Every structure is written in structure tokens, then in C-alpha cells.
């Protein structure tokens, strides 16, 4: 019998195997292959862990040598701590990495000054670590410190300052949108309002340094409009009963009724009761409408600044102009929708 006929016969015989047996056979093969692959990956991962731990011991010995020879605050320790922290980060040991980076940060502040720009990269690594472990408050503290250092180390016209401002703004926007600090509704509005005020101050500062039509302010304006629009959306979604009205919640009313006295005579007896003030609900609605209009007006002011840059800046590219037009259109449409909704009868 030829090899071809033999192969054909084997193939036909194989087809006669029951579907259940075939299914079991294929699953067994695939399972065996999967186990082999997983075992190989686990072996590689375990080997890498051993290597990293050995490297950590080597780096720690190097750090101890530097500390013994030149002192515990020598500037060369910054890089040594940094590289050691990276090894811990590779092991997903963010707590140890942060503790080591804090040592590097302390040495940088001692050697290079409290507001030295060299600290910024260390702070960004610390921020990443805190976000990995969802320690939002610690991450926020490091963001605040990074912005403080950048505001001292750089001018508002410097790209480094504007980069830090973008990172800071994106973080603050996330804090609001995801409510990372588990704030109540009113506390969240207050926090967002503080961020909006911060942006207003920064924009004024940048305008004084760079001019009203400088395109470097665009990213700051975009960030502020996002905060203000987030505030407007949040206010629009809140029940009007969450707002403090200007009228008194309750009023006193005098009520009278006829009663018989002990002598059997009918007398009129009056008394005062406290009832809900119908005007209070209306004042709550007006308070909500006022809060919404305040935030949409802030968006309108930012739109005016964007239009001014769009029409007067001489160094905008075609793409940047189109992006400004697109941002303005979206902001106008959403602002108008929110305002139209605010004049309709309140359903909640």
C-alpha cells in the first residue's frame, strides 16, 4: 500500500471516531498545550522575580556604601534611590517604591533647594504609585506640591509650567467627575468652584505674562471650560430641593375654631401653627436656576476668550483654528440646552 493510501486510510479511520471522543481528544491536546505555556510563562516570571530581588540587594549595598563613604545626604543618592524604586515598581510593590522615592525627594530638596525643578519627575513617579494603589488623597497632595514647585521654578510663559498645569488640571477634573474623595453634592460643587476660581487666577496670570491672544493659554481655557461645564451639568442634574432658598422654609399661621367652654357657651379659640412656606419651594428653584446660570456665564466668558484668540492670534495653525471652532460649537450647544432645560417646569 502506498504512503498516500495509508494516510488516506488513517484519515478515514480517524473520521469514524465518535464526536464525543474527538471533542475529548482535542480538548485534552489544547489543555496540555495551555498548561505547558502557562508553566513556561510562570517559570519566566519567577526567574525574573529572582533576578530583580538579587538586583535589589545589590542596589541596597551600593546605597549603603555611598552613605558610608560620602554621607547620607549626598546628591548621588538621588539616582541610586530612583533606580532602586524602579525595581520595586517592576514587582508592583508600590508602597516600598514610594518610601524609597520619598528618600530621594528629601535629598533633592536638601541639595537642590525646596523649589528645584529636579523634584518634578520624582513627584510624578510618586503620583503614579499612589494612583496605582488608589490612595487618592496622597496623590492629590503630590499634585499640589508639583504645581507649587512649578509655579516657583518656572514662569507662566514656560512650557514646563504649562505642562504641569495641564497635568494638575486633568487630575482635578478627574477628582470631580469620578468623585474620588466621596464628597457630598454640595461639597463637590464647592470643590469644583474652587478649581474654576483657580483657573481664572491662572488665566489672568498667563495673560499678563504672555498677552491676551497668546495661544499658549488655549489648553488652560479648555480645561477651565471642562470644569465649568461639569459644574453646570452637575447643578442641572441636582433636585432643586438640594438648594438653599432665600425665603423662610416655614411660616406661622393662626388657626381658630369654635369650642364650648365649661359653662356650655360657644367660644372662639385661636392658636398658632407652623406650616411649610409655599414661597420657599419657588425660591429653591430660583436658587438652582441662578447657580446654573452662574456656571454657564463662566463658560460664555471662556468662549469669548477662545474667540478672541481665534480671531487675533497670528501663529495659529489651520488645525488649531478648526479645533477652537469645534470646541466653541460644542460649548454653545450644551450651554443652550442646559439653559433651556432650566426654564421648563421642574419635575424634581
Mapping DSSP to helix (H, G, I), strand (E, B) and coil, where does residue 270 land? strand
Mapping DSSP to helix (H, G, I), strand (E, B) and coil, where does residue 277 land? coil
Mark whether 211 and 331 lie in a shared domain.
Answer: yes
In a domain, 86, yes or no: yes
What contacts 287, CB < 8 A, 6 or more positions away?
240, 243, 244, 245, 246
SS3 content of the chain, % helix, strand, coil (to 5): 75, 5, 20
Query: CA-CA distances (angstroms) from residue 15 to 12, 124, 320?
Result: 5, 62, 65
In a domain, 119, yes or no: yes
At 3 the pLDDT is 41
What contacts 50, CB < 8 A, 6 or more positions away?
none
At 300 the pLDDT is 94
Find the helix or strand (DSSP H, E) in which 14 lies: helix 3-15
Contact between 217 and 203 (Cβ < 8 Å): yes
Mark whether 61 and 174 lie in a shared domain.
Answer: no
What is the crossing angle of helices 94-112 and 77-90, to 10°?
A: 160
Percent of the chain with pLDDT over 90: 53
115 burial (CB, 10 Å; 0-12 / 13-18 / 19+) is: middle
Q: For residue 174, report the phi and psi dihedrals to the nearest 5 degrees.
A: -65, -40
Per the document, the length of the chain is 348
Instruction: Name which of 209-223, 236-250, 253-267, 271-285 the model is least confident about.
Output: 209-223
Contact between 119 and 95 (Cβ < 8 Å): no
Mark whether 137 and 180 lie in a shared domain.
Answer: no
Mark whether 132 and 212 lie in a shared domain.
Answer: no
Per-residue pLDDT of 59-110, as tens digits, reads 999 999 999 999 999 999 999 999 999 999 999 999 999 999 999 999 999 9
Mark whether 168 and 129 lie in a shared domain.
Answer: no
Mark whether 145 and 170 lie in a shared domain.
Answer: no
At 24 the pLDDT is 37
Region 258-283: mean pLDDT is: 89
Per-residue pLDDT of 118-137, as tens digits, reads 999 999 999 999 999 999 99
User: Domain holding 50: CATH number?
Assistant: 1.25.40.10
- How many domains does the chain contain in total? 2
pLDDT of 26 strictly over 50: no
Quick one: CA dihedral 100, 105, 106, 108, positive or negative? positive
Per-residue pLDDT of 280-307, as tens digits, reads 999 999 999 998 999 999 999 999 999 9
Contact between 83 and 66 (Cβ < 8 Å): no
Residue 38: domain span: 31-153
Contact between 226 and 290 (Cβ < 8 Å): no
Q: Which of 132, 153, 174 is the last residue of a domain?
A: 153
Count of CB atoms within 10 A of residue 103's CB? 18
Instruction: Please give the DSSP secondary-structure letter assigned to residue 229.
Output: H
Region 200-213: mean pLDDT is: 80
At 4 the pLDDT is 39
pTM for the whole thing?
0.74
pLDDT of 54 strictly over 90: yes
Per-residue pLDDT of 128-173, as tens digits, reads 999 999 999 999 999 999 999 999 999 988 889 989 998 998 999 8
pLDDT of 183 strictly over 60: yes
pLDDT of 22 strictly over 80: no
Contact between 209 and 157 (Cβ < 8 Å): yes
What are the cell numbers at 203?
488665566
At 213 the pLDDT is 64
At 19 the pLDDT is 39
Per-residue pLDDT of 221-245, as tens digits, reads 898 999 999 889 988 988 888 888 9
In a domain, 24, yes or no: no
Q: How far is it, in rounded angstroms, from Cα 218 to Cα 198?
A: 16
CA 242 to chain centre: 25
- Could you tell me which of 347, 270, 335 has the C-alpha nearest to residue 300? 335
Q: How far is it, in rounded angstroms, from Cα 121 to Cα 313?
A: 33
Average pLDDT of the chain is 84
pLDDT of 191 strictly over 60: yes
Mark whether 146 and 228 lie in a shared domain.
Answer: no
Query: CA-CA distances (angstroms) from residue 297 to 30, 76, 228, 304, 346?
Result: 63, 52, 9, 10, 21
- Could you tell me which of 175, 229, 223 has the C-alpha nearest to residue 199? 223
Quick one: CA dihedral 26, 29, 35, 40, positive or negative? negative
Q: Is 134 left (phi over 0), alpha (psi -120 to 50) or beta?
A: left
In a domain, 182, yes or no: yes
Tell me which of 9 and 321 has the higher pLDDT.
Answer: 321
Mark whether 98 and 190 lie in a shared domain.
Answer: no
Amino acid at each position: 500500500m502506498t504512503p498516500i493510501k495509508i494516510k488516506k486510510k488513517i484519515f478515514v479511520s480517524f473520521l469514524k471516531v465518535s464526536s464525543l471522543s474527538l471533542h475529548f481528544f482535542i480538548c485534552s491536546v489544547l489543555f496540555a498545550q495551555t498548561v505547558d505555556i502557562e508553566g513556561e510563562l510562570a517559570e519566566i516570571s519567577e526567574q525574573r522575580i529572582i533576578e530583580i530581588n538579587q538586583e535589589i540587594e545589590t542596589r541596597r549595598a551600593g546605597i549603603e556604601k555611598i552613605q558610608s563613604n560620602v554621607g547620607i545626604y549626598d546628591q548621588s543618592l538621588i539616582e541610586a534611590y530612583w533606580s532602586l524604586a524602579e525595581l520595586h515598581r517592576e514587582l508592583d510593590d508600590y508602597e516600598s517604591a514610594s518610601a524609597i522615592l520619598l528618600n530621594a525627594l528629601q535629598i533633592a530638596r536638601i541639595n537642590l533647594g525646596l523649589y528645584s525643578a529636579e523634584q518634578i519627575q520624582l513627584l510624578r513617579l510618586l503620583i503614579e504609585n499612589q494612583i496605582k494603589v488608589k490612595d487618592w488623597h496622597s496623590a492629590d497632595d503630590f499634585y499640589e506640591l508639583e504645581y507649587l514647585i512649578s509655579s516657583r521654578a518656572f514662569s507662566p510663559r514656560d512650557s514646563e509650567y504649562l505642562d504641569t498645569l495641564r497635568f494638575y488640571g486633568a487630575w482635578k477634573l478627574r477628582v470631580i467627575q469620578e468623585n474620588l474623595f466621596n464628597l457630598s453634592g454640595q461639597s463637590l460643587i464647592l470643590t469644583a468652584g474652587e478649581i474654576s476660581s483657580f483657573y481664572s487666577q491662572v488665566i489672568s496670570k498667563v495673560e499678563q505674562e504672555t498677552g491676551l491672544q497668546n495661544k499658549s493659554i488655549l489648553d488652560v481655557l479648555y480645561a477651565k471650560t471642562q470644569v465649568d461645564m461639569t459644574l453646570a451639568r452637575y447643578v442641572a442634574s441636582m433636585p432643586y430641593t438640594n438648594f438653599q432658598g432665600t425665603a423662610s422654609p416655614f411660616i406661622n399661621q393662626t388657626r381658630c375654631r369654635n369650642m364650648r367652654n365649661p359653662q356650655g357657651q360657644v367660644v372662639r379659640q385661636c392658636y398658632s401653627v407652623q406650616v411649610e412656606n409655599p414661597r420657599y419651594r419657588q425660591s429653591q428653584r430660583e436658587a438652582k436656576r441662578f447657580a446654573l446660570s452662574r456656571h454657564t456665564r463662566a463658560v460664555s466668558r471662556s468662549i469669548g476668550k477662545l474667540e478672541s484668540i481665534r480671531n487675533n492670534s497670528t501663529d495659529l495653525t489651520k488645525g488649531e483654528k478648526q479645533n477652537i471652532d469645534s470646541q466653541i460649537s460644542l460649548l454653545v450647544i450644551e450651554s443652550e440646552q442646559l439653559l433651556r432645560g432650566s426654564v421648563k417646569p421642574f419635575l424634581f
